[in-house]
Amino acid sequence: MDRVVIIGLGLIGGSLGLALKGAKIKDIEVIGVDVERDAVVAAQRKGAVDRVERPAEKAVASANMVIVATPILAVRDVFATIGDALPAGCVVTDTASTKAHIMRWAEEFLPPHVHFVGGHPMAGKERPGIQGAEASLFRDAAYCIVPSARASQAAVETVVGLAQTVGSTPYFVDAEEHDMMVAGVSHLPLVLASALVAVTTRSPSWREMSKLASSGFRDTSRLASTDIALSTGIAGTNQAGLIRWIDGCIEVLKEYRDLIAQDSKAMQARFDEAWEARERWLVNQKEPPRDKAMAEVPSTADRINEMLFGNLWEKLRRREQQLLDRDGKGRQEREQDR
């Protein structure tokens, strides 16, 4: 029986649990951990986990895979807490929205005998919590995979298998590059939505204006309702990315402002460009990805499940055993060092 431990039973952790259990993989057990009793009860009620356990150190002690799905700023503490309890060969991944800090924390707090592979499924909802969790949340989404220097090929493929099992497309990327890219497509939208709400609601006219705000305002401001733990975590761990894109956006807004003041024809060309660029994006979204990074993996669920959650873990375990045998009593010595 392979044990997958999910730490943090919120929207992402809960949805991963539902998707994993929905995939009906043979001989795996999904174990949930959360500090909040409500989340634990709801996860069990929804069937997102086979059982719950606490504390985290105990739950991970015999885990094959640990998925840390807590808020970003809590990941550091979770790594520090579980580090010493993780068994040799365990594959550890996370789901946080930024990756550079996470990779540093993994390096700092996780023992060398585990395989850390950073992860970031590009899916979500503005409402946090297990209540909104659903097995289909990750379907057709990109799933960023950021292997640590020490992660084995087999561990990386296990996380690729996780991504594919939940219906996502694995996307390999470097941590710094990830943070700069998601700052543009994911964190800048959050900042713009919040700025739109701030500038309008701070106005003395807001009381009247609010009655005229309609679906355009609702959609453009939607991300301002992002869970505060998430937005704060992003601001705290992706400063460089946010600043680069906010500055870029201010430049575009200044350009638009000057064009509108001078000549509405010139502004028409800008609206046209944005219109066309978004159309192209929407069209590409619908087409199957034809990309090396996205194409190196098997495509049917059966193959994935068998290969990555069956044979692969077997292979992984054998390889770990070889390494342990070669290293002598590495693990035992480490435990005595505690």
* 279, 314, 327, 333: residue in contact with its own copies (rule CB under 8 A): 279
Residue 81 binds its own copies, judged by CB under 8 A: no
Q: Which residues within the stretch 27-56 sit at the binding site for its own copies (CB under 8 A)?
A: none
* 108, 250, 314, 329: residue in contact with its own copies (rule CB under 8 A): 250
Q: Which residues within the stretch 119-148 sit at the binding site for its own copies (CB under 8 A)?
A: 122-125, 141-142, 144
* 145, 193, 307, 312: residue in contact with its own copies (rule CB under 8 A): 193
Question: Which one of the spans 14-22, 61-69, 149-157, 221-229 is the region binding its own copies (CB under 8 A)?
Answer: 221-229
Q: Specify burial of residue 284 (Cβ count, 10 A radius: 0-12, 13-18, 19+).
A: exposed
* 149, 214, 286, 336: residue in contact with its own copies (rule CB under 8 A): 214
Question: Which one of the spans 1-9, 42-50, 280-288, 329-337 is the region binding its own copies (CB under 8 A)?
Answer: 280-288
Residue 321 binds its own copies, judged by CB under 8 A: no
Residue 260 binds its own copies, judged by CB under 8 A: yes
Residue 297 binds its own copies, judged by CB under 8 A: no
b/e burial code for range 320-337 (CB count within 10 A of at least 16 → b): beeebeeeeebbeeeeee
Residue 217 binds its own copies, judged by CB under 8 A: yes
Question: Which one of the spans 79-87, 104-112, 198-206, 297-305 is the region binding its own copies (CB under 8 A)?
Answer: 198-206
* Shortest Cβ 171–its own copies spacing (Å): 6
Question: Which one of the spans 106-114, 148-156, 158-166, 252-260 is the region binding its own copies (CB under 8 A)?
Answer: 252-260
* 58, 278, 303, 329: residue in contact with its own copies (rule CB under 8 A): 278
Residue 80 binds its own copies, judged by CB under 8 A: no
* Shortest Cβ 105–its own copies spacing (Å): 16
* 268, 311, 321, 332: residue in contact with its own copies (rule CB under 8 A): 268
Question: Which one of the spans 40-48, 148-156, 187-195, 323-331 is the region binding its own copies (CB under 8 A)?
Answer: 187-195
HEC per residue, the chain: CEEEEEECCCHHHHHHHHHHHHCCCCCEEEEEECCCHHHHHHHHHHCCCCEECCCHHHHHCCCCEEEECCCHHHHHHHHHHHHHHCCCCCEEEECCCCCHHHHHHHHHHCCCCCEEEEEEECCCCCCCCHHHCCCCCCCCCEEEEEECCCCCHHHHHHHHHHHHHCCCEEEECCHHHHHHHHHHHHHHHHHHHHHHHHHHHCCCCHHHHHHHCCHHHHHHCHHHHCCHHHHHHHHHHCHHHHHHHHHHHHHHHHHHHHHHHHCHHHHHHHHHHHHHHHHHHHHHHHCCCCCHHHHCCCCCHHHHHHHHHHHHHHHHHHHHHHHHHHCCCHHHHHHHHC
Question: Which one of the spans 18-26, 74-82, 127-135, 201-209 is the region binding its own copies (CB under 8 A)?
Answer: 201-209
